[in-house]
Amino acid sequence: MEWGIYPAAADRLLSFIGIAVHWSILQYVVGLPLLAFVAELLYLKTGDQKWLKIAKTIVKGFIIVFAVGAATGTASEFGLVLLWPNLTQAAGNYIYFPLYAEVFAFLMEVVFIYMLWYGWEKLPKKVHVIVMLFALIGPWFSAAMIVSVNSYMVAPTGLEPAYDPATGQWLFDQGYPKLLLAVPTDYANILNVTLLQQLGMEVVGQDGGVVLVKMPIRIIERLVYEAWHGYTVQDSILKLVIKPEYLNQDVLNTPVMAILDAILKATVNYVGVTTVTFKSPVYLGSILHVVGSAITVSSFTVLAAYAMRKLQLRRKGVKNGEYYEYVDTFFKFAAIFALVAIVLQGTVFGHLMGTEIAEYNPEKFAAMEGTSQSIFSISRAFGLEKLMAFLGYGSFDAHLPNYDEIPKDYCVCSVTHDQDLARIGDCRPPLFLHYVYYTKIGLAILSGLFVLGVAYYLFVKKTELPEMLLKLALPFAIIIQAVSWMGWVVREVGRKPWTIYGVMTPDVAHTFNPAPTSLVALVAVFFIVILGILAYAVWKFLWLPGKEEVGMEVS
């Protein structure tokens, strides 16, 4: 199993479960407020009580899932601190700003979401719409911050990838991938630049008190490992690249952490303390894709809920009345959102994300496309390689990166090769990604066709939907959640063996005091049980009260 190739398999699995749960929930936290906001605007414009009911219903669902999301988010946050404390420490030191700013977003979410709910009868309509807007901004602001950190982890700012799609050549032998670093002049002066250049480092300029270099990530990774393991220059690879005349006892006793800290702080200062993560080359595509995914999943879920209501009404033979009108309007409203969202997601946001990954994470792209002879490749079997190369690189002449040509040890420093390869496992991402990715794409296309069918009956044919189509709404709500989830898997698992691409591997990020596997398994089971209870609670408290016999959606 490829999962076990990389370090800290059990804790990665626990984090995987925790974050997967959080991911599923946050789809609604980010997606639902937009639907509610639009519904409330329509109410403000038309004065039609139907829209108010729709807005209230969405907000009710939003509040319940938000509360669940906040709890799973807190658990994930603590999980991050406890299982990956060294990653937390690095993030806090160098890319803290979006996490810091996320607090404002989270506060905004909590305060305005509660205000939204308790203010329905107490605030003037227009003020309530403004509160709703803030309740929408909160989760989006939050997403923008967190996704920026995640984007940085996928492709740090200043990354130079190791692949040329025009020639189809990997550039590992030239020292790529490389990362831009700003080395304080004091440190740069004691380094043997000629030797470092032979190892692949490029000096690209000087700016104030720093020398700008493009450093092979295999060197950066090693230094990060040494820093977090308490190395001093005496035992470090740095000793090999410091000019002999500077190798006095003071220098030899200097912790690698102190040197790395100075370089990373100088780099962050040079790039921009508050902007460094937002400049990640995959940020724009990532944030659009995440928000698009949330709106798509939310729309499909609402669509499914009201498809079921429609089925209930149909079975009772109800064809008019206030409740019927309300359900019908809500269903159409959700269908429009679902259609627009999935089209945008597939043709614009997803495509943009894909091109960014193709350019900056070519190793992952190779795994996603399954360009290895060792597996059955779907793209190869269906002759999609040229098309995928075009989609990824904008040219039919471009080449897909060949997975089999990626050296297993491209991320490992040659000086400490065996030791580093033993702890990292394999520098290549896992190939099972190919099947996850293509399953995701296939299911996304099916979901698009489904909602297109719904829209056809609603807005072109303008007739009642076939029962089968209504019945399919629920499976597709689950499928679209699975599509989103698989996208997240491709993004996160596809980054392996890296925790922060080119900088930190899981073995370094991982706690020095891991819990026993049995305890990790127990905690995982605990989370799954709790999730089951919460899912049941949401169903019981959100779905059941919405039934007509219990009353209109929100009293």
**Among 9, 199, 203, 257, which residue interacts with other proteins (rule: CB under 8 A)?**
257
**Among 94, 172, 476, 485, which residue interacts with other proteins (rule: CB under 8 A)?**
94
539 is a contact residue toward other proteins (CB under 8 A): no
- Per DSSP, helices labelled H in 345-432 are 350-360, 362-369, 378-381, 385-393, 417-424
**Among 92, 208, 407, 466, which residue interacts with other proteins (rule: CB under 8 A)?**
92
**Among 2, 9, 41, 96, which residue interacts with other proteins (rule: CB under 8 A)?**
96
Task: Please give the Cα distance from 51 to 262 (Å, whole number).
Answer: 56
**Among 173, 373, 537, 543, which residue interacts with other proteins (rule: CB under 8 A)?**
537
**Among 43, 106, 270, 501, which residue interacts with other proteins (rule: CB under 8 A)?**
106
Look up residue 296 and give its amino acid: T
The three state secondary structure string of 454-523 is HHHHHHHCCCCCCHHHHHHHHHHHHHHHHHHHHHHHHHHHCCCCCCECCCECHHHHCCCCCCCHHHHHHH
555 is a contact residue toward other proteins (CB under 8 A): no
13 is a contact residue toward other proteins (CB under 8 A): no
521 is a contact residue toward other proteins (CB under 8 A): no
265 is a contact residue toward other proteins (CB under 8 A): yes
230 is a contact residue toward other proteins (CB under 8 A): yes
Burial of 347 (0-12, 13-18, 19+ CB in 10 A): exposed
511 is a contact residue toward other proteins (CB under 8 A): yes
Q: Given the complex with other proteins, which of 134 and 390 has the nearer CB atom?
A: 134
Characterise 205 by phi-psi region: left (phi > 0), alpha (psi -120 to 50), beta (else). left
**Among 274, 347, 419, 517, which residue interacts with other proteins (rule: CB under 8 A)?**
274
Characterise 164 by phi-psi region: left (phi > 0), alpha (psi -120 to 50), beta (else). beta
Q: Given the complex with other proteins, which of 376 and 541 has the nearer CB atom?
A: 541
Task: Please give the Cα distance from 135 to 114 (Å, whole number).
Answer: 9
Give the range of 80-88, 149-157, 216-224, 293-301 binding other proteins by CB under 8 A: 80-88
109 is a contact residue toward other proteins (CB under 8 A): yes
Q: Given the complex with other proteins, which of 381 and 533 has the nearer CB atom?
A: 533
How many of the chain's residues bind other proteins (CB under 8 A)?
70
User: C-alpha 272: how far from its chain's center?
Assistant: 22
Q: How far is the CB of 110 from other proteins (least distance, A)?
A: 4
What is the x/- site pattern for other proteins, positions 40-79, by CB under 8 A? ------------------------x-xxx-xxxxxx-xxx
Task: Please give the Cα distance from 56 to 26 (Å, whole number).
Answer: 19
Backbone angles phi, psi at 100, to 5 degrees: -60, -50
Q: Given the complex with other proteins, which of 99 and 384 has the nearer CB atom?
A: 99
Compute the Cα dihedral for 538, 544, 550, 551 and give only its sign: positive
DSSP string covering 85-147: HHHHHHHHHHSHHHHHHHHHHHHHHHHHHHHHHHTTTTS-HHHHHHHHHHHHHHHHHHHHHHH
Q: How far is the CB of 268 from other proteins (least distance, A)?
A: 6
239 is a contact residue toward other proteins (CB under 8 A): no
Q: Given the complex with other proteins, which of 59 and 91 has the nearer CB atom?
A: 91
Q: How far is the CB of 270 from other proteins (least distance, A)?
A: 12
Q: Give strand pairing partners of 203.
A: 213
Paired sense of beta strands 202-207 and 210-216, if any: antiparallel
Per CB under 8 A, residues contacting other proteins are 64, 66-68, 70-75, 77-79, 81-86, 88-94, 96-97, 99-104, 106-115, 118-119, 121-123, 230, 255, 257, 265, 268-269, 273-274, 511-513, 515, 523, 526-527, 530, 533-534, 537, 540-541
